[in-house]
């Protein structure tokens, strides 16, 4: 038993003399690439939510723009990943009026695979709202 302890101690001391540190940056790098723009339309009832899935092919920036609402209304928008219960587990949310600029900045995907965008009702919505949202992603 003492022999095994000495071997383990010797290995530990040998490893302690090694320098495995790196002076380089270990932050994951996003690879610039072509953006795919997808347009989704739907309607949201008072208290409701509408979800659309899309596929991210490589890490990078995601731009979400609520481009139209009818009637004009401030809506909730969010990004996340699909959950097992067919909902969208939102990680980034905000309120937006229809416009032409990114409304969830900064949004960066550090993964590839399926993501989701949600448009949802916020306080005081009393009628169904038709909307269009675009998602530009890598």
Query: CATH number of the domain that 89 lies in?
Result: 2.60.120.380
The answer as to whether 27 is a domain residue is no
Computed over its alpha carbons, how large is the radius of gyration of the chain? 23
Average pLDDT over residues 21-29: 52
Residue 102 maps to a domain: yes
Choice among 22-36, 70-84, 114-128 with the minimum mean pLDDT: 22-36
In a domain, 121, yes or no: yes
* Number of Cα atoms under 13 Å in the Cβ half of residue 69: 24
Q: Side-chain half-sphere of 11: how many Cα atoms within 13 Å?
A: 6
SS3 call for 13? helix
The residue range of the domain holding 41 is 34-137
Residue whose C-alpha is closest to residue 52's, from 18, 81, 92: 81
Helices (H), 1-138: 2-16
pTM of the model: 0.74
């Amino acid at each position: 038993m003492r022999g095994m302890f000495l071997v383990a101690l010797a290995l530990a001391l040998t490893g302690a003399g090694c320098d495995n540190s790196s002076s380089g940056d270990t932050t994951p790098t996003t690879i610039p690439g072509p953006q795919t723009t997808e347009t989704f339309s739907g309607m949201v009832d008072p208290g409701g939510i509408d979800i659309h899935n899309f596929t991210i092919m490589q890490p990078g920036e995601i731009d979400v723009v609520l481009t139209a609402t009818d009637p004009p209304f401030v809506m909730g928008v969010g990004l996340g990943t699909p959950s097992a219960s067919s909902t969208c587990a939102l990680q980034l949310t905000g309120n937006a009026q229809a416009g032409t600029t990114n409304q969830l900045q900064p949004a960066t995907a550090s993964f590839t695979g399926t993501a989701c965008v949600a448009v949802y009702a916020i306080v005081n919505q009393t009628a169904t709202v038709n909307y269009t949202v675009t998602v530009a992603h890598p």
